[in-house]
Amino acid sequence: MKAHTKETQDTMTPKKALEYLIEGNGRFQNNLKANRNLLQQVNETAEGQFPFATILSCIDSRVSAELVFDQGLGDIFSIRIAGNFVNEDILGSMEFACKLAGTKLLVVLGHTACGAIKGACDHARLGNLTALINKIEPAVDAVKEPKEDALRNSKNMDFVNQVAEKNVMMTIDNIRSSSEVLVEMENKGEIKIVGGMYDIKTGEVKFY
């Protein structure tokens, strides 16, 4: 499989880009990697890159976007931060990726049993991590059930995963409310913004 070129990127649509990721995740789940020569892709991308998707995911060592979607060099922009939330710098990176570099799909990818989400559920406080946790805690507050404080913590994995899903959706809302560039592109049909959850037990990504 060759690296994407300007020509293949130009023929890509948001719908087709999403299908590519779904197909890639299917290969990953079945341990069927696409036949690609990474060293050849190094040479093919030496003069430029033409990715088709931008993926915001967590730093979790089990959730590498390139691996779980079976993509090669030059295929996707990968933005990673604990808790997969956005700030001004990440929004700027997304705007570059979509508006200037031509990606057609923007994915916010959460995952089950997320450590950053667990920290937010427990209102953890530790050095600079405190500021990061503060950015995720609104998702904790947005999940209304269960109401009992004893069940609203990292020991309740169902609650943790509900917060992770809510965090993905709130991150998408933040992208749309904070980036005129991206929301204009979405309204014109030039890009699609979607959320997804990766299951660390099965390797499956479920898109919303």
Answer for the pair 154, 122: CB distance below 8 angstroms, yes or no: yes
Is 60 marked as binding a ligand? Answer: yes
77 forms bridges with which residues in the sheet?
54
- Cβ contact 10:55 at 8 Å: no
193 vs 186: CA distance, rounded Å: 7
125: left (phi over 0), alpha (psi -120 to 50) or beta: beta
Closest C-alpha to 86, from 64, 53, 116, 108: 108
Report which residue type is found at 158.
D
114 is in an annotated binding site: yes
Cα R_g (the chain), whole angstroms: 18
Q: Which residues belong to the annotated binding site?
A: 58, 60, 111, 114
Binding positions for Zn(2+) are: 58, 60, 111, 114
